Chain A
Amino acid sequence: MVTEVVMPKMGYDMTEGTIVRWRKDEGDEVARGEVIAEVETTKVTVEVEAYTGGVLRKILVPEGQTVPVGQVIAVIADRDEAIPGLDKEPRADKAAREVKKAAPRPQEAAEAVTTAEEEAPRIAASPVARRMAREQGIDLGQITGAGPGGRITKEDIETFLARRPAEGPKPAPTPVAAARAAAPHDIPYEDRELSRIRQTMARRMAESKRVAPHFYVTSDIDMTELLKLRKGLNELVGEGARISVTDMLVKGAAKTLQEFPEVNASFAEGKLRVYRRINIGVAVALDEGLLTPVIADCDKKSLREIAQEAKEVVERARTGRLRPEDFTPGTFTISNLGMFDVEEFVAIINPPEAAILAVGSVAPRPVVVKGEIKVAERMRVTLSADHRVVDGATAARFLQRFKVFLEQPLHLIT
């Protein structure tokens, strides 16, 4: 019978041993229980006994060599027995492999979690105050804490909430100033505190412009059919469930993104990250700044559902009652300045999205039809796209398709 002699584990924490001396030679008879070798481990020498009798046919590890516990060091068999695989390298036993496995694994890199809060200056607020602020949609930057060290406490939040309806509308934010040369010292000025939302916007928009190579594609869309359909639908659904133009744009964008998944994506660590959900953010202008609540899974929702949800979420945004769910990450954004008579404009992409659609006003404009000038309700949209993700042709085709959906609006309700 062929028996492998392994480097024995002579101690609960022994991982390897060194052959000090072979007491028997190859070809010697060995009895069960007889000492065949001396092994050194952590400065102590122990004897290795044979657990079966026979002939020491092969010594696989010479004196002076160190091997892990469990590795085969010799073979005992009958004198003329065939020993398979003897010419191969000493086979490490499962124990040896397990010893290797016990080596500590490299630590996994901690996930970097960046939230707007972490990067902005630290505001001290007690956990319950933070939770209440979150639930009420209050920007902690607006509150001065009266707790120790200026900490915002529950009482501060309660005081703020009690006072809020009585407050007049906040002063309108200063218009975005064109870049100027540094002002001379003697121009009088006042510094106004930026709201938390604005601080975040400032950082994100600057970063977006800096990091993503923006390019722009514009399309002029005939809105006649869409407006007709909208009118008809609204007669059907009634006052409470009115569908807006923006709602139909959202649906149109969702359908287009379904066909252009590469636009429903991000540039992530050198790869194109294509999202499996279509979550569209609708920009809402508030006194404190721009918020973009997201409607999730627009491709799976009907026009009515989108209209309903949009209405609710915009209402929540305006009254400062946004919920955490409203800030589900988005994959595409629509920004509509049409209500301000803006004909067309160019928007900054909301990172890490790949594109944003800037929508101008719907107005009667002259168009050329079969060589003749006619008047039609037109709307211009401009797609800003991240050139790392989307190229010109794709953006153009995207808009082309979008235009088809809007000009043949029955697509929006199929």
Chain B
Amino acid sequence: MEASTVAKLTGSGLDKKTLLRFLHQMLLMRKFEDKAAELYARGKIAGFLHLYNGQEASAVGAISTLAEHDLLTTHYRDHGYAIARGMDLNRCMAELLGKATGVAKGRGGSMHFFDATVGMLGGWAIVAGHMPLAVGLGFASNYLGKGQVVLCIFGDGATNNGYFHEALNMAKLWKVPVVFLCENNLYGMGTAVHRASATTEMVRKAAPYDIPAERVDGMDVLAVREATQRAVDHARRGDGPYFLEVVTYRFRGHSMADPILYRDKAEVEEWKQRDPIVIFRQRLEQEGLLSAQEMERIERETDELVAEAVRFAEESPDPPLTDLYEDIYANP
């Protein structure tokens, strides 16, 4: 798959504050992930760590369209979504270190970020497993008249799974307000899309279910935002589910354990030329919306936020052993 894809041009209509916030968020995500990589290599984070480097525009663009009461369910490469949705950075880092102050009290780890107070309902480790959950959440919103939109984010690998098909079918049947956002980063773990999917254009996979679908350049944060807005509006109007294929690329491996034998270094370098953070920054600079001092401020702030998160996490206590038996039942 070539680096240049069908891109949608955007005239954003967004103010400078919002645009700088997008840049801030993407940079924060990048630094958080890099720091997580370092901590993992030092043995402070364990288990599986799936990092989001390169895909920041997708999370920021898409999630910026959600209203406060909307819901988000995602796969396990979830740090970016958590940050975009406004979860507490310190507590996210604490969760990675398995501390009691973590967002899931140290019980979930990297793959299970979850904060009901901001509508981030996970972080799920079973591929495609959260898709019918999103349908159920959308169903509940309709039933109870909550007017929510559920943004369900998954990868290209999930589109070949039984859950994908059952969820899309039910979503359309029941007209649930779910936006199915497929982040196609061209590889399902180590398997390139063309080796796993009979149909390599994810956007076509919604057609059998009569769900309107669009494909977006995932390296362009404003393009992602614009398309997602269309999808969210459609769902909120009561017109049922919408499908987005966001074409993007992950610069790091599938997880920290990935020796990345299945793709070319050259391909990675080519995609790195389209680093969404760099591209967006350059565009802002070109249009006179970002000065050197403002950039420096953003760099400094994001550095500090990440450093503070690490300090908070390292100083936090381990969960007490009694926690092992907590929350097995709501009604013990």
Interface flags, A1-29, vs B, CB<8A=1, else 0: 00000101111101000000000000000
Which residue in B43, B48, B259, B261 is a CB contact (below 8 Å) of A9? Answer: B43
**Known contacts A10-B256, A45-B259, A95 near B43 by CB under 8 Å:** yes
Which residue in B43, B47, B259 is a CB contact (below 8 Å) of A44? Answer: B259
Once the chains bind, are B42 and A95 in contact (CB under 8 Å)? yes
Cα-based distance from A9 to B257 in the complex (angstroms): 8
Once the chains bind, are B42 and A70 in contact (CB under 8 Å)? yes
Which residue in A48, A51, A69 is a CB contact (below 8 Å) of B43? Answer: A69
What residues on A are CB-neighbors of B34 within 8 Å? Answer: 33, 51
Interface flags, B174-198, vs A, CB<8A=1, else 0: 0000000000000000000000000
Q: Within the complex, what minimum Cβ distance (angstroms) separates B281 from chain A?
A: 17
Once the chains bind, are A6 and B257 in contact (CB under 8 Å)? no
A 70-104 contacts with B by CB, 8 A: 70, 93, 95, 98
Cα-based distance from A46 to B259 in the complex (angstroms): 6
Contact-residue bracket for chain A: 10 to 19
Once the chains bind, are A12 and B47 in contact (CB under 8 Å)? yes
What residues on A are CB-neighbors of B38 within 8 Å? Answer: 51
What residues on A are CB-neighbors of B47 within 8 Å? Answer: 12
Once the chains bind, are A12 and B43 in contact (CB under 8 Å)? no
Cα-based distance from A12 to B110 in the complex (angstroms): 13
Contact-residue bracket for chain B: 10 to 19
Cα-based distance from A117 to B38 in the complex (angstroms): 62
Q: Within the complex, what minimum Cβ distance (angstroms) separates B24 from chain A?
A: 20
Once the chains bind, are A8 and B42 in contact (CB under 8 Å)? yes
What residues on B are CB-neighbors of A12 within 8 Å? Answer: 46-48, 257
Total A-B Cβ pairs within 8 A? 38
B40 within 8 A of A: yes
Cα-based distance from A45 to B265 in the complex (angstroms): 14
Which residue in B46, B257, B261 is a CB contact (below 8 Å) of A10? Answer: B257
Interface flags, B29-51, vs A, CB<8A=1, else 0: 00000100010111100111000
Most chain B beta carbons < 10 A, residue from A9, A45, A51 = A9
What residues on B are CB-neighbors of A44 within 8 Å? Answer: 259, 261
Which residue in A11, A51, A69, A95 is a CB contact (below 8 Å) of B257? Answer: A11
Q: Within the complex, what minimum Cβ distance (angstroms) separates B305 from chain A?
A: 17
> Which residue of B is nearest A13, CB measured?
B257
Cα-based distance from A14 to B41 in the complex (angstroms): 10
Once the chains bind, are B41 and A8 in contact (CB under 8 Å)? yes
**Known contacts A10-B256, A11-B256, A51-B38, A70 near B43 by CB under 8 Å:** yes
Cα-based distance from A303 to B47 in the complex (angstroms): 68
**Known contacts A12-B46, A12-B47, A12-B48, A6 near B41 by CB under 8 Å:** yes
Once the chains bind, are B41 and A10 in contact (CB under 8 Å)? yes
> Which residue of B is nearest A94, CB measured?
B43
What residues on B are CB-neighbors of A95 within 8 Å? Answer: 42-43
Once the chains bind, are B46 and A6 in contact (CB under 8 Å)? no
What residues on A are CB-neighbors of B43 within 8 Å? Answer: 9, 69-70, 93, 95, 98
> Which residue of B is nearest A11, CB measured?
B257
Cα-based distance from A12 to B41 in the complex (angstroms): 10
> Which residue of B is nearest A98, CB measured?
B43
Q: Within the complex, what minimum Cβ distance (angstroms) separates B6 from chain A?
A: 30
What residues on A are CB-neighbors of B40 within 8 Å? Answer: 8-9
What residues on A are CB-neighbors of B256 within 8 Å? Answer: 9-11
Q: Within the complex, what minimum Cβ distance (angstroms) separates A88 from chain B?
A: 20
What residues on B are CB-neighbors of A70 within 8 Å? Answer: 42-43
Cα-based distance from A376 to B124 in the complex (angstroms): 96
Cα-based distance from A69 to B44 in the complex (angstroms): 12
What residues on B are CB-neighbors of A14 within 8 Å? Answer: 257
What residues on B are CB-neighbors of A11 within 8 Å? Answer: 256-257
What residues on B are CB-neighbors of A93 within 8 Å? Answer: 42-43
Most chain B beta carbons < 10 A, residue from A6, A8, A33 = A8
What residues on A are CB-neighbors of B46 within 8 Å? Answer: 12
> Which residue of B is nearest A5, CB measured?
B41
What residues on A are CB-neighbors of B48 within 8 Å? Answer: 12
Interface flags, B41-66, vs A, CB<8A=1, else 0: 11100111000000000000000000
Cα-based distance from A14 to B34 in the complex (angstroms): 20
Cα-based distance from A98 to B259 in the complex (angstroms): 24
> Which residue of B is nearest A41, CB measured?
B259
B 227-279 contacts with A by CB, 8 A: 256-257, 259, 261
Q: Within the complex, what minimum Cβ distance (angstroms) separates B52 from chain A?
A: 16
Interface flags, A40-59, vs B, CB<8A=1, else 0: 00001110100100000000
Q: Within the complex, what minimum Cβ distance (angstroms) separates B40 from chain A?
A: 6
Q: Within the complex, what minimum Cβ distance (angstroms) separates A70 from chain B?
A: 6
Cα-based distance from A69 to B42 in the complex (angstroms): 8
Most chain A beta carbons < 10 A, residue from B34, B43, B46, B48 = B43
A 108-126 contacts with B by CB, 8 A: none
Q: Within the complex, what minimum Cβ distance (angstroms) separates B197 from chain A?
A: 26
Once the chains bind, are B42 and A6 in contact (CB under 8 Å)? yes
What residues on B are CB-neighbors of A69 within 8 Å? Answer: 43
What residues on A are CB-neighbors of B42 within 8 Å? Answer: 6, 8-9, 70, 93, 95
> Which residue of A is nearest B265, CB measured?
A47
Interface flags, A229-256, vs B, CB<8A=1, else 0: 0000000000000000000000000000
B 1-48 contacts with A by CB, 8 A: 34, 38, 40-43, 46-48
What are 15 A-B interface contacts by the 8 Å CB criterion? A6-B42, A8-B40, A8-B42, A9-B40, A10-B256, A10-B257, A11-B256, A11-B257, A12-B47, A12-B48, A33-B34, A51-B41, A69-B43, A70-B42, A93-B42
Which 5 residue pairs spanning A and B have beta carbons closest together?
A: A8-B41, A11-B257, A95-B43, A44-B259, A51-B38
Given contacts A8-B40, A9-B256, A45-B259, 10 further A-B contacts (CB under 8 A): A6-B42, A9-B40, A10-B41, A12-B47, A12-B48, A33-B34, A51-B34, A51-B41, A93-B42, A93-B43
